[in-house]
Amino acid sequence: MEELGSTRNIARIYSPVSGETKEFYYRIPTTEELTEYSSNLFKRKGRKMQNKAIETRIRMAKKILTGFHDGDFGINKKPISSDPDSPDYYPQWLRLLEEGNPGLLSAFAFHVFEGAKADEMPEEDDDDDKDDDDQTEDDDLPPLSPNSGS
């Protein structure tokens, strides 16, 4: 069930730096933030368009990110936490994350702001009961022209 208004939504993002999947906590962006995000990805400067996607993604990620799974990040080989109640709490966790792996913040924002997808297609059954005849309906169509069959 999707909990509307929750600040503890979870996004799992793969980090190519560590080769691990990281778990981010975030709040759902407001309508104004969605509009701000999409309208700032590209800017017109004179007759040219400037790509501002990375900086926009990082800025917007910082607005909605509320934390991360304890132990997913560390500094000086010690884990840090975004949870103020944790003994490993690191107050500047967001700044550290932006400086240490801005690409991961960008990927997180892309996932949240642009990553919505429609329902996935159901997987096909791999039943052995299928016909051995692998013909499709297209196999029964005549050639488009007299020369196309040769």
Q: State pLDDT tens for residues 43-56.
A: 999 999 999 999 99
Q: Residue 26 burial by CB count (10 A; 0-12/13-18/19+): exposed, middle or buried?
A: buried
Q: Which two tokens stand for residue 78?
A: 């010690």
Q: Please compute the mean of the pLDDT values over residues 131-136 and round it to a whole number.
A: 51
pLDDT for residue 127: 54
Q: Residue 43 contacts by C-beta under 8 Å, 6 or more apart in sequence?
A: 49, 50, 52
pLDDT value at 130 more than 60: no
Q: Residue 138 burial by CB count (10 A; 0-12/13-18/19+): exposed, middle or buried? A: exposed
Least trusted range by pLDDT, from 4-18, 44-58, 72-86, 106-120: 106-120
pLDDT at res. 120: 60
Structural domain spans, the chain: 9-114
Q: How far is CA 83 from CA 15, 59, 100, in A?
A: 21, 21, 19
pLDDT value of residue 123:
65
Quick one: CA torsion of 18, 21, 26, 32, rounded to 10 degrees? Answer: 80
pLDDT tens per residue across span 97-123: 999 999 999 999 999 999 866 556 556
Assign 48 to helix, strand or coil.
strand
Task: Determine if the pTM surpasses 0.85.
Answer: no
Predicted confidence at residue 93, as pLDDT, reads 97
Is the per-residue pLDDT at 126 higher than 60?
no
pLDDT: which is higher, 117 or 91: 91
- The answer to whether the CB of 80 falls within 8 A of the CB of 94 is no
**Closest Cα to residue 25, out of 56, 3, 54, 46?**
3
